[in-house]
């Protein structure tokens, strides 16, 4: 029986890249950090706050997200939105994810058990 | 009165680049307040919620490193192998070399053997610490500045030869060569500084100075040849029968003269024997000779036996 620790590491590795994909998809509709965190976890992408917040800033610096301050509500919030560049990168990522899924399915079906 | 959140923000922002500090502060504060609000809406006590949220965000320095995309390692995988290889290379011989040299110089300048050994060990240790420290500092700086090293790419041509056949490590060879070197150094040094002096305060060599006519140079030549054998052994990577033959010849070339000189009372300096009354009494000199002969036979026999066993074990 494999230990929980090993299992957790593998799951973490598997999930790591998908946070970026999920964020780029979710931010087609502009949102701020905490709301995005909620939205992602509601859709089965539990992310740690201390991972997501710095990640959003990094994606913004890379030009994949744009941001805008909203000062109308009780506290100033920074709303992120997937940029055009982000959209094209997302396209590539989704294609690749689909390829991985297809390849895996082929492998599973083709493998003798 | 500052809240926990204020303190957390201050701790995080401390190590975030100044240019982005204000913006990150506003955003992070809002995020924390959102998270706290999310919990108090569920009926939780505000103070407890704040504690929980900050605990979840974790160590402020770690969070700041993520914001600044800073590396949380002294030397990462890009530099680790280069660091470790350089450390091994430098530490494998420099501290010992410097230690032995300083020890010999200290002794030759009139210190006792004990002081020479002590000084040598301390200096070797200091040199090892200095090397480790400075090499590591340089690599840690490279890691932080992300300087490319431009090292040649690894290729199959870099594979060490005979890897599966190598039975003799460089450490073994280094130990043997060091021992042989020290033995040669002793044979020379005992003539000039034996730490036994005449009544007049002059140095009294341990071995008979008359042996310098032929036998001492001969023994030193045999030891130098033995160092050559060590290098040949390392090149081959293992004991082979020709190497064993050479080992037998060299052991005999060293042991036989020593035994013969001892049994004919020609090894030790006659003046030295005269200086120690104990040696002149009864059959003490014969006992000493017997011990020297037994020791020489034992060492030579063991060395040859060891090489034969290893050749036998590693054959084909």
CA proximity to B244, closest of B299, B311, B297: B311
Is the pLDDT at B40 greater than 70, yes or no? yes
Q: A20 pLDDT band (50/70/90 cuts)?
A: very high
Contacts of B40 in chain A (CB under 8 A): none
Statement to judge: residues B179 and B64 lie in one domain: no
pLDDT, mean of residues A97-104? 94
Has residue B128 been placed in a domain?
no
Of A34, A57, A75, which is closest to B35 when you measure between CB atoms? A34
DSSP state of A47: -
Q: What is the mean pLDDT of residues B99-116?
A: 78
pLDDT, residue B69, reads 82
Give the domain range for residue B280: 160-316
Does one domain contain both B51 and B185? no
Q: Which of B68, B85, B109 is the last residue of a domain?
A: B68
Domains of chain B: total:
2
| Cα–Cα distance for residue pair B265/B217, rounded to 1 Å | 19
A28-32, A94-98, B134-138, B290-294: range with lowest mean pLDDT: B290-294
Domain assignments of chain A as residue spans, ordered by start: 4-108
Residue B36 CB contacts under 8 Å (≥ 6 apart), including other chains: B5, B46, B49, B50, B53
Do B58 and A50 contact (CB within 8 A), yes or no? yes
B147 pLDDT band, cuts 50/70/90, is confident
Instruction: Please give the average per-residue pLDDT across B94-103, as a whole number.
Output: 83
Please tell me the distance from the alpha carbon of residue A110 to that of residue A108, in angstroms, as a whole number.
Answer: 6
State the DSSP H helix or E strand holding residue A36, giving kind and residue range, or none if neither.
helix A33-42
Coil, helix or strand for B6? helix
B311/B238 Cα distance (integer angstroms): 8
Q: How far apart are CA B294 and CA B206, in angstroms?
A: 19
Domain-ending residue, one of B49, B68, B87: B68
Distance of alpha carbon B134 from alpha carbon A108, whole angstroms? 53
Query: Does the structure show a pLDDT above 70 at B161?
Result: no
Cβ burial of A57 (10 Å; 0-12, 13-18, 19+) is buried
Mean pLDDT, chain A, rounded, equals: 91
User: pLDDT, tens digit, for every residue of B201-251?
Assistant: 777 888 888 888 888 888 988 998 998 898 888 888 888 888 999 999 999
Contact B99, B123 (CB under 8 A): yes
Inter-chain touch B34–A34, beta carbons under 8 Å = yes
B173 part of a folded domain: yes
State the angle between helix axes of A4-26 and A33-42 in degrees (0 to 180), rounded to the nearest 10: 120
Question: What does the alpha-carbon distance between residue B266 and residue B77 come to, in Å, rounded to a whole number?
Answer: 62
pLDDT of residue B83: 93
pLDDT of residue B38 exceeding 70: yes
Residues on chain A touching B38 (C-beta within 8 angstroms):
34, 38
Q: What is the least distance, in Å, from the CA of B306 to any CA of chain A? A: 46
pLDDT category at B183 given cuts 50, 70, 90 is confident
Mutant choice from B19, B34, B40 vs A, greatest count of A C-beta within 10 A? B34
Q: What percent of chain B has pLDDT over 90?
A: 32
Cβ atoms of B24 and B16 closer than 8 Å: yes
Specify which residues A82 forms β-bridges with: A65
Domain boundary among B68, B93, B110: B68
CB count within 10 Å of CB B229 equals 18
Q: Could you tell me which of B75, B56, B63, B53 has the C-alpha nearest to residue B16?
A: B63
List the structure tokens of A95: 């294609």
- Pairwise CA distance, residues B142 & B40, whole Å: 47
User: Does the distance separating the beta carbons of B31 and A54 come in below 8 Å?
Assistant: no
Contacts of B63 in chain A (CB under 8 A): 50, 53-54
How does pLDDT run across A1-12, given as a tens digit for each residue? 678 899 989 988
- Determine contact, residues B117/B76, Cβ cutoff 8 Å: no
pLDDT tens digits, one per residue of A47-78 = 999 999 999 999 999 999 999 998 887 888 99
Q: Does any domain span residue B92?
A: no
**Element (H or E) spanning A77, and its range?**
strand A77-82
Residues B184 and B220: beta-carbon distance below 8 Å: yes
- pLDDT above 70: residue B118: yes
Are the C-beta atoms of B227 and B221 separated by less than 8 Å?
A: no
| A-interface mutation test, from B27, B28, B29, most A Cβ less than 10 A away | B27
| Inside any domain, residue B103 | no
Q: Does the residue B23 lie in any domain?
A: yes
In 3D, which of B267, B100, B260 has the Cα closest to residue B185? Answer: B100
* CATH topology assigned to domain A4-108: Arc Repressor Mutant, subunit A (1.10.10)
- How many other C-beta atoms can be found within 10 angstroms of the C-beta atom of residue A102? 10
Residue B129 lies in a domain: no
Q: For residue B275, give the nearest of B210, B175, B204 by alpha carbon.
A: B204
Angle between helices B170-192 and B77-108 (to 10 degrees): 20
pLDDT-wise least confident of B64-73, B155-164, B237-246: B155-164
B279, two tokens: 């040696």
Q: Is residue B57 part of a domain?
A: yes
Residue reference for tokens 């074990």? B313
Mean pLDDT of A74-95: 93
Indicate the range of A93-97, B107-111, B134-138, B253-257 predicted with least confidence: B107-111
To the nearest whole Å, the CA of A75 is away from the closest chain B CA by 7
Q: Are residues B311 and B178 in the same domain?
A: yes
In whole angstroms, what is the distance from residue B178 CA to residue A29 CA?
Answer: 73
Is the pLDDT assigned to residue B278 strictly greater than 80?
A: no
Q: Do A50 and B38 touch (CB under 8 A)?
A: no
Do B180 and B301 belong together in one domain?
yes
Looking at the structure, tell me whether residues B182 and B56 fall in a common domain. no
Closest approach of chain B CAs to the CA of A85, in angstroms?
A: 21
Q: Per the domain annotation, does B126 fall within a domain?
A: no
Tell me the DSSP string of B286-298.
HHHHHHHHHHHHH
């Amino acid at each position: 029986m494999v230990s929980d620790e090993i299992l957790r590491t593998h799951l973490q590795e598997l999930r790591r890249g998908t946070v970026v994909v999920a964020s780029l998809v979710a931010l087609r509709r502009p949102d701020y950090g905490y709301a995005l965190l909620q939205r992602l976890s509601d859709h089965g992408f539990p992310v740690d706050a201390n991972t997501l917040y710095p990640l959003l800033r990094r994606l913004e610096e890379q030009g994949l997200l744009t941001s805008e301050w909203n000062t109308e509500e009780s506290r100033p919030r920074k709303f992120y939105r997937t940029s055009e560049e982000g959209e094209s990168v997302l396209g590539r990522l989704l294609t690749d994810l689909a390829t991985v899924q297809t390849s895996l399915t082929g492998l599973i079906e083709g493998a003798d058990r | 009165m500052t809240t926990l959140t204020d303190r957390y923000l201050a701790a995080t922002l401390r190590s975030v680049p100044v240019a982005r500090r204000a913006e990150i502060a506003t955003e992070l504060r809002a995020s924390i307040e959102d998270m706290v609000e999310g919990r108090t809406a569920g009926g939780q006590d505000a103070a407890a919620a704040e504690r929980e949220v900050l605990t979840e965000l974790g160590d402020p320095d770690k969070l700041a490193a993520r914001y600044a995309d800073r590396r949380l390692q002294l030397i990462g995988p890009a530099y680790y192998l280069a660091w470790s290889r350089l450390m091994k290379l430098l530490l494998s011989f420099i501290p010992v070399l410097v230690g032995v040299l300083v020890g010999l110089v200290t002794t030759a300048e009139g210190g006792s053997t004990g002081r020479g050994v002590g000084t040598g060990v301390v200096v070797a240790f200091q040199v090892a610490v200095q090397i480790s420290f400075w090499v590591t500092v340089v690599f840690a700086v490279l890691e932080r500045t992300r300087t490319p090293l431009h090292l040649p790419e690894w290729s199959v041509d870099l594979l060490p030869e005979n890897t599966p056949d190598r039975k003799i490590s460089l450490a073994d060879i280094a130990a043997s060569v060091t021992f042989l070197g020290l033995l040669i150094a002793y044979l020379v040094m005992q003539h000039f500084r034996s730490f036994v002096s005449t009544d007049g305060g002059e140095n009294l060599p341990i071995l008979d100075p008359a042996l310098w006519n032929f036998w001492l140079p001969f023994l030193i030549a045999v030891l130098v040849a033995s160092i050559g054998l060590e290098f040949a052994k390392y090149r081959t990577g293992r004991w082979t029968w020709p190497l064993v033959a050479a080992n037998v010849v060299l052991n005999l070339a060293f042991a036989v003269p020593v035994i013969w000189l001892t049994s004919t009372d020609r090894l030790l300096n006659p003046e030295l024997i005269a200086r120690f009354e104990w040696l002149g009494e009864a059959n003490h000199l014969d006992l000493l000779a017997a011990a020297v002969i037994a020791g020489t036979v034992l060492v030579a026999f063991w060395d040859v036996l060891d090489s034969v066993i290893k050749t036998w074990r590693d054959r084909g």
